[in-house]
Amino acid sequence: MPFTVDYFNQRVADEVESWPVGILADHARLVELLVEFGPDLGMPHSRMTGAGLFELRPRGREGIGRAPYCFVVGKRVVVLHAFIKKTRGAPRRELDVARRRMKEVRGG
């Protein structure tokens, strides 16, 4: 049975939809892989950032996107946040937003 992928809210979905076409196309491909393989997706497509938080790592000619997500009970994946990388590492503020949302979707 495949995994399902949902967005935390419409604002997160809208942010992803606003990405440049190359990054957006790679994100769509990675979501399809996530649906099929779930937690077994792995690098370079996905990476665990700690404490149950993962990130999709879409790339395009226009740059690099990140979409932190978590697994929820059953085979449900929730994309918690989305942003375009502008620095080498993921900005702490962006990951903090994703961690807060993860606690919310997991009932914590």
Rg (CA), the chain: 13
For residue 108, pLDDT beyond 70? no
Rounded CA separation 21/41 (Å): 23
**What are the residue ranges spanned by the domains of the chain?**
4-105
Q: What is the pTM of this model?
A: 0.93
Q: For the domain 4-105, what is the CATH superfamily, name and number?
A: RelE-like (3.30.2310.20)
- For residue 29, how many other CB atoms are within 10 A of its CB? 12
What whole-number distance in Å separates Cα of residue 106 and Cα of residue 23? 28
Mean pLDDT of 90-95: 88
Q: Kind of pairing, strands 59-60 and 53-56?
A: unpaired
As a whole number, the mean pLDDT across the chain is 94
* Least confident interval from 23-27, 50-54, 87-91, 101-105: 87-91
